[in-house]
Amino acid sequence: MGGKAIETLVGAVVVVVAIGFFIFAYNKSDVARVNGYTVTGSFASVGSLKPGADVRLSGIKIGSVQDMRLDPQYFQAIVSMSIDDDVKLPDDTSASISADGLLGGSYISLQPGFSDVDLADGGEITITQGAVDIMDLISRALFGGVSQSGDTGG
């Protein structure tokens, strides 16, 4: 009977340590969503961008992607981002969707402009660049820009 009690106690300690590790890892990984003011941007392609993805300025996380929807009139992806209240972005800020390495996830990279007017809550980033399709770039490099339809132009 004493052996089973010890096994149960060791199992409970392992579970508590594992929970503590996950809480520590979550807090240190900076995956929590940022609460702040909301801005939007229209992109031709979002690639593998997902809600919760980082919004970075100079490589530092300053926000997170809140929501994505399709504009039915212009067929653009409208991305809503929450930006930290301490970061004031000029209204001529540009946004591009970048990949975090070859196999990493996507994030939004912001480049501030030079305007004296800041983006307000509900503002729109009008200068955007959509995601680059890595497989398309690789196929163009390998096959010399041959179109997918097989037309070689000659």
Roughly how many angstroms between the first and final C-alpha of the chain, as a whole number?
A: 85
Q: Domain boundaries in the chain?
A: 1-30, 33-140
Condensed to tens digits (0 to 9), the pLDDT of residues 52-110 reads 999 999 999 999 999 999 999 999 999 999 999 999 999 999 999 998 877 778 999 99
Q: State mean pLDDT over 4-13.
A: 87
Q: State mean pLDDT over 17-27.
A: 77
User: Under DSSP, is residue 23 helix (H, G, I), strand (E, B) or coil?
Assistant: helix
Q: State mean pLDDT over 30-40.
A: 79
Q: How many angstroms from the chain centroid is the CA of residue 49?
A: 5
Give the Cα-Cα-Cα angle 73, 99, 89 (nearest 5 degrees). 65
Tell me: pLDDT of 153 over 60.
no
The residues, ordered by sequence, that sit 6+ positions from 83 with a Cβ below 8 Å of its Cβ are 34, 36, 37, 38, 39, 55, 62, 63, 89, 119
Q: What is the reported pLDDT for 119?
A: 95
Tell me: pLDDT of 19 over 80.
yes
Q: How many helices (H) and strands (E) does the chain have?
A: 2, 8
The residues, ordered by sequence, that sit 6+ positions from 49 with a Cβ below 8 Å of its Cβ are 65, 68, 79, 97, 106, 107, 108, 131
Q: What is the reported pLDDT for 103?
A: 74
